[in-house]
Amino acid sequence: MKKIDIEFKEDSRQQDIKVIITAEKMDDEVRELIKRISDPFSSGFSVYDEKGAVVVLPCDKIISISSDKRKLKVIADNGVFELRSSLQDVEKQLSSLSFIKISRYEIINLHKVAKFDFSISGSLRIEMNNGMQTWASRRNIGEIKRRLMRKDLDL
C-alpha cells in the first residue's frame, strides 16, 4: 500500500469539501481511494451479530468470509457475524487489492494473513493473524501466487 500524505487548507470561500488526489498514475489503489472518499459507506458491510442486531463492519476488520450452510459467515477482528448476501456479490464489492477468493466457498483478507505454507505437495495452507488456518483449493493456487508476486500489493 502506498503512503498517503494528507494536507488540510482552510478556505472560508469554499462551501463544500474539495479533495484533490495526486499520484504517479491512476491505478487500482487510487481508484479504490477515490471510491472510498466519494462513498465512505462503501468500505463496510451491514452484518448481523449473534443476537441478530445489525452492525456496520469496516472491510479492514474482516479476516475471512465463507459460505456455511447457505449463509455467509464473516470472521472479523471483533467477532463472528452473518452476512445476508451471496459470496459472488460480496466478492464484487470487496477491494481486489486486499481480498482474494481462495476456494469456491471462501474469500480472505490478504492483509490478515500471517503465513502461506506451500510446502505440502500440491496444497496451500494459509494461517491468518488470529491463528485460524484455512486451505486454498488447487484451482486457485496459481492466481494466489500471481497476486503475491504483484509489486503494487504491499503486505
pLDDT 10s digits, 15-65: 888 888 899 999 888 887 887 777 654 567 889 999 989 888 988 899 999
pLDDT cut 90: percent of the chain above it: 44
Predicted confidence band at 151 (pLDDT cuts at 50, 70, 90)?
low
Q: How many CB atoms lie within 10 A of CB 47?
A: 23
The pLDDT score that the predictor gives to residue 7 is 85
Q: Which of 84, 35, 81 is nearest to 57 (CA)?
A: 81
What type of residue is 140? N
pTM for this entry: 0.69
Per-residue pLDDT band for 108 (boundaries 50, 70, 90) equals: very high
What pLDDT does residue 5 have? 82
CATH superfamily for domain 28-149: LytTr DNA-binding domain (2.40.50.1020)
CB contact set of 67 (below 8 Å; sequence gap of 6+): 73, 87, 105, 106
Q: What pLDDT does residue 95 have?
A: 65
Instruction: Note the pLDDT tens digit of each residue in 94-103.
Output: 866 689 999 9
Plot region of 131 (φ>0 → left; ψ -120 to 50 → alpha; else → beta): left
Least confident residue range of 18-22, 31-35, 70-74, 138-142: 31-35
Q: How many Å apart are CA 68 and CA 72, to the nearest integer?
A: 6
Q: Which of 39, 32, 130, 125 is nearest to 76 (CA)?
A: 130
Residue 136: the pLDDT is 95
Kindly state the cell numbers that stand for 71. 449463509
Residue range 125-134: average pLDDT? 95
